[in-house]
Amino acid sequence: MKIISDKSIMRQKLNILLAIVLTVHTICCCRSGNTFFYRAVERSDVDVIKDKAGLIRTVYCDIYIEHVDSEGWKYLRDAPFFRGNGKGDPVPVCFHFIIENTWKRPFYIDRIEILHQGKVIKTEDFSFIKDKEYMENRYSVNLASLQIKRRILTDDTLLQDIDFSNDSVEYRLDFIAPGDRVSFFRFFSWLPVGKTTKVRIGIKYFDLKKVIDFDIGCFEYNGTMQEQAGF
């Protein structure tokens, strides 16, 4: 009876998660046939590359963030180690990160999170799902492989410009060494989009801690770029 109960709880949690994400996705992205997507908002310290990726340069590192859309998932399926055994694209919102250590010391990624109106939303690691094969079999991409860090061997920054099969290798260090460019993907169970929504990346080296943040907006593409109002 305990096994059945655990499975029932797992299904309930998963259904709640999917319902929340689908609601947010519908509010933001399912309107009038136009294309909606998430992107870093331009600021004095943020460069936007080809209307897709946001870039912040600091003394310590360069950080790129890019939302993975349907075209991105299609592209990732071409890499054997990203290919999953299931069908369809992941429902949770996903961002691709590249962090390049431009400093003379190694540092750790301390945290990645969303801050919205004082509420912190942590990344989703799917640990509440007890099925060990879920991350490989649920979608057309492998959720576990996407969260493993990879070193990028070229200067490419946009997701669909990177040849992951030939120009990246698995990165086994738990820190980022000077000069290394490291790529990874992180999921969020939901993403509230408004003027106060930020994605925050924390890095640390012993007692030194720095937080870099991007403002994230929902944009519409219907021939021209237009940012949508938050909700």
Average pLDDT, rounded, for the chain: 85
Q: Per residue in 48-70, pLDDT tens? A: 999 999 999 999 999 999 999 99
- Give the per-residue pLDDT at 199: 96
In angstroms, rounded to a whole number, what is the distance separating the alpha carbons of residues 56 and 62?
Answer: 6
Residue 159 near residue 96 (C-beta atoms within 8 A): yes
- Give the per-residue pLDDT at 190: 84
Percent helix, strand and coil across the chain, each to the nearest 5: 25, 40, 40
Range 127-140 average pLDDT: 88
Q: Is the pLDDT of residue 221 over 90?
A: no
CA within 13 Å, CB half, 223:
0
- pTM reported for the whole predicted model: 0.82
Q: Per residue in 13-47, pLDDT tens? A: 554 554 454 444 444 444 444 567 899 999 999 99
CB neighbour list of residue 74: distance below 8 Å, 6 or more residues apart: none
Question: To which residue do tokens 């096994």 refer?
Answer: 3
Confidence band of 120 (pLDDT split at 50, 70, 90): very high
Tell me the sheet residues that pair with 203: 109, 210
Q: Is the pLDDT of residue 7 over 60?
A: no
CB atoms within 10 A of CB 210: 15
Residue 137 near residue 169 (C-beta atoms within 8 A): no
In angstroms, rounded to a whole number, what is the distance separating the alpha carbons of residues 212 and 210?
Answer: 7
Supply the DSSP symbol for 126. Answer: -
SS (H, E, C) 157-207: CCHHHCCHHHHEEECCCCCECCCCEEEEEEEECCCCCCCCCEEEEEEEECC
Q: Per residue in 185-194, pLDDT tens? A: 999 988 887 6
Amino acid at 117: Q
